[in-house]
A and B are shown apart, each in its own frame.
Chain A
Amino acid sequence: MTDVKNLEDLFQAKIDAEQKIEPKDWMPEKYRKNLIRQISQHAHSEVVGMLPEGNWIGRAPSLRRKAILLAKVQDEAGHGLYLYSAAETLGTSREQTIDDLLSGKAKYSSIFNYPTLSWADIGAVGWLVDGAAIMNQVMLCRTSYGPYARAMVRICKEESFHQRQGYEIMAVLAQGTPEQKEMAQDALNRWWWPSLMMFGPTDANSPHSAESMKWKIKRQSNDELRQTFIDRTVQQAEVIGLSIPDPDLKWNEATQHYDWGAIDWAEFNNVVAGNGPCNKERLTARNKAHDEGAWVREAALAHAAKKAKKKQAA
């Protein structure tokens, strides 16, 4: 098997030299599989992520907020689409990828299995969830697989308003009536820990991490990204007068980072295993949209075939 060994060496040499891998290049089967898994999970997260936020489109409290939220949730659909397209360059059809989501085989970010209970949750999701996602996405703009990196560049450009609109919602609520401030603090309390879980297991417990780092699919570890997120977000919370729900949170002069409390990994594993508050609702909603859209997709194809036939006959 010296041939494969050579190919693998060449492949790794390319990666080490910061050259992007393109769809037609030879790649180790595990690299391909790892990428398909990661990109499709990412795509599913965008699409499932439309649901908790879409939940408040009809109840947005002003027309300005309503337009912003519509545009934001629409962007998530676009991001899902870019990512499904990137996955397709690896030889997996969108149909197959989506089937895996609908059957429950594929995973998506567990954060979207939490409910949005108040308007402040829309602020918290934008500020914290998009904030955490952006940390990952900025890193992924430099990922080794070309189509994935290109999709991420586009996504990062579009995402830049998402976190800001969420933070703006929180800032306005925090300066509002006592009821509004309470709503904002309650949302922060509920979304803080799940947001930290978004970065995935600790580096010591992350099954795919070492390989992903070697292949430069990932370029920073879960723990590094999580720490940066905490350092930035604590400051932002202070500015708007909200408190982070972590009694152990403390600035550490020596490390120049915040120390913080323990994540409840049992909760994380439970939600990943399908027992989160909204796992069932999310999958049911996606399946319903897919099933009820079947006749629409068929009709469009049937009409396109008829039109092509007519054109040929003419």
Chain B
Amino acid sequence: MSQTNALFTYTLRLADDLLILSHRLGEWCGHGPVLEEDIALTNRALDHIGEARNLLTYAGELEGKGRTEDDLAFLRPERQFLNTKLVEQPNGDYAHTIVRSFLFDAYHLPLAEALLKSSDAQLAAIAGKAVKEAQYHLRHSSDWLIRFGDGTEESHQRAQAALDNLWTFTGDLFTQDEVHQAMVKAGVAPDLAKIKAAFDATVDTVLSEATLNRPTDGFMASGGRQGKHGEQLGFILAEMQYLQRAYPGATW
């Protein structure tokens, strides 16, 4: 794999996490547990979609075949999506939604911070904007996780169940394959072991304040980065890509 190909793949991986997560968060719009939180969650979805658009546009440029952000979002099949399995998980109850975002945020913030120093100027520039957003996201999801963990008995149980269910999908976040190693070598991407250390520290601090137990690492899911997803992603894409697929070539 050439350096450009690896960079294209790496950029898509970054983009797809945000694109799919923003889609999931968008499903809450109009259905949130309280009006204020409905608005907060949509703000997150908008931050994610904004970063995804920047990354997809850049990926299109890297590829050099004239594909736009929309071509990449709406016309790739399931096997070409490179997001982690974590972000495609269904919303579930609000505890699942918060835990999914918390686990992602705890990874996304140190990643964005590291990408500030990327040898790739464009990725560094995109990270510059993302860092501030990611700081806020992590605070928002941590606050809620602490409220649930140290709230009522019911909320505690729901939060613990969500953690136990979703923990396996954090495996995907830290898998370093050939593509990633090439990116580390080129100074584009950080070593994921470093990101994992920051992730662990955040998770431990927040879970301890939330009086929740950190699940033990059992079988850890992987494959998302290679386009091997769960069954949910196909339905997300069926919905998301419907108009572009039904009316090929139309402008919207």
Q: Do A's and B's CB atoms come within 8 Å in the complex?
A: yes
A54 to B239, CA, bound (A): 13
Establish whether residues B29 and A299, one from each chain, have CB atoms under 8 Å apart when the complex forms.
Answer: no
Establish whether residues B33 and A293, one from each chain, have CB atoms under 8 Å apart when the complex forms.
Answer: yes
A105 at the interface (CB under 8 A from B): no
A74 to B94, CA, bound (A): 18
The smallest C-beta distance from A180 to any residue of chain B, in angstroms, reads: 6
A302 at the interface (CB under 8 A from B): yes
The smallest C-beta distance from B17 to any residue of chain A, in angstroms, reads: 15
Establish whether residues A84 and B31, one from each chain, have CB atoms under 8 Å apart when the complex forms.
Answer: no
Flag A164-190 by CB within 8 Å of B: 1 or 0 each: 000001001100110110000000000
**Would you call the interface of chain A mostly helix, strand, loop, or mixed?**
helix
Flag B48-80 by CB within 8 Å of A: 1 or 0 each: 011011001000000000000110011000000
Neighbouring A residues of B164 by C-beta, 8 Å: none
B200 at the interface (CB under 8 A from A): no
Establish whether residues B152 and A298, one from each chain, have CB atoms under 8 Å apart when the complex forms.
Answer: yes
A306 to B49, CA, bound (A): 36
The number of chain A residues touching the other chain, given as a range, is 35 or more
A290 to B242, CA, bound (A): 30
> A67 with B46: in contact, given A58-B26, A296-B33, A302-B155 (CB under 8 Å)?
yes
The smallest C-beta distance from B188 to any residue of chain A, in angstroms, reads: 24
A173 to B43, CA, bound (A): 28
The smallest C-beta distance from B128 to any residue of chain A, in angstroms, reads: 20
Establish whether residues A81 and B35, one from each chain, have CB atoms under 8 Å apart when the complex forms.
Answer: yes
Establish whether residues B39 and A74, one from each chain, have CB atoms under 8 Å apart when the complex forms.
Answer: yes
The winner among B23, B35, B37, B73 for most chain A CB atoms within 10 A is B35
A70 to B39, CA, bound (A): 10
Establish whether residues B53 and A57, one from each chain, have CB atoms under 8 Å apart when the complex forms.
Answer: no
| Chain A minimum-CB-distance residue to B249 | A177
A285 at the interface (CB under 8 A from B): yes
Establish whether residues A180 and B250, one from each chain, have CB atoms under 8 Å apart when the complex forms.
Answer: yes
Establish whether residues A58 and B239, one from each chain, have CB atoms under 8 Å apart when the complex forms.
Answer: yes
A285 to B43, CA, bound (A): 21
**Could you say which of B31, B247, B251 contacts A288, with CB atoms under 8 Å apart?**
B31
> A57 with B32: in contact, given A70-B45, A176-B250 (CB under 8 Å)?
no
Query: Which B20-44 residues sit within 8 Å CB-CB of chain A?
Result: 23, 26-27, 29-39, 42-43
Neighbouring A residues of B19 by C-beta, 8 Å: 63
B187 at the interface (CB under 8 A from A): no
**Would you call the interface of chain B mostly helix, strand, loop, or mixed?**
helix
A173 to B70, CA, bound (A): 17
The number of chain B residues touching the other chain, given as a range, is 35 or more
Establish whether residues B154 and A66, one from each chain, have CB atoms under 8 Å apart when the complex forms.
Answer: no
Neighbouring A residues of B56 by C-beta, 8 Å: 63
**Could you say which of B49, B93, B151, B244 contacts A300, with CB atoms under 8 Å apart?**
B151
Neighbouring A residues of B29 by C-beta, 8 Å: 50, 54, 57, 70, 73-74, 77
| Chain B minimum-CB-distance residue to A177 | B250
**Could you say which of A58, A77, A84, A179 contacts B38, with CB atoms under 8 Å apart?**
A77
B158 at the interface (CB under 8 A from A): yes
Query: Which B180-213 residues sit within 8 Å CB-CB of chain A?
Result: none
Neighbouring A residues of B93 by C-beta, 8 Å: 292
A225 at the interface (CB under 8 A from B): no
A84 to B35, CA, bound (A): 10
B125 at the interface (CB under 8 A from A): no
Neighbouring B residues of A293 by C-beta, 8 Å: 32-34, 37, 94
A292 to B53, CA, bound (A): 32
A47 to B146, CA, bound (A): 28
B220 at the interface (CB under 8 A from A): no
Establish whether residues B46 and A172, one from each chain, have CB atoms under 8 Å apart when the complex forms.
Answer: no
Neighbouring B residues of A297 by C-beta, 8 Å: 33-34
| Chain B minimum-CB-distance residue to A65 | B252
**Could you say which of B30, B49, B154, B251 contacts A299, with CB atoms under 8 Å apart?**
B154
Establish whether residues A299 and B244, one from each chain, have CB atoms under 8 Å apart when the complex forms.
Answer: no
A47 to B143, CA, bound (A): 26
B121 at the interface (CB under 8 A from A): no
The smallest C-beta distance from B250 to any residue of chain A, in angstroms, reads: 5
| Chain B minimum-CB-distance residue to A94 | B35
The smallest C-beta distance from B47 to any residue of chain A, in angstroms, reads: 10
A223 to B44, CA, bound (A): 42
Neighbouring A residues of B150 by C-beta, 8 Å: 303, 306
Q: Which 7 A-B pairs have the closest CB atoms?
A: A293-B33, A299-B151, A299-B155, A50-B30, A54-B30, A61-B243, A296-B33
Q: List 29 A-B contacts (CB under 8 A).
A: A50-B29, A50-B38, A58-B23, A59-B242, A59-B243, A60-B243, A63-B69, A64-B53, A70-B26, A70-B46, A74-B38, A74-B43, A74-B46, A77-B42, A81-B36, A172-B252, A176-B251, A289-B30, A292-B33, A292-B94, A293-B32, A293-B33, A295-B154, A296-B94, A297-B34, A298-B152, A298-B155, A299-B151, A299-B152
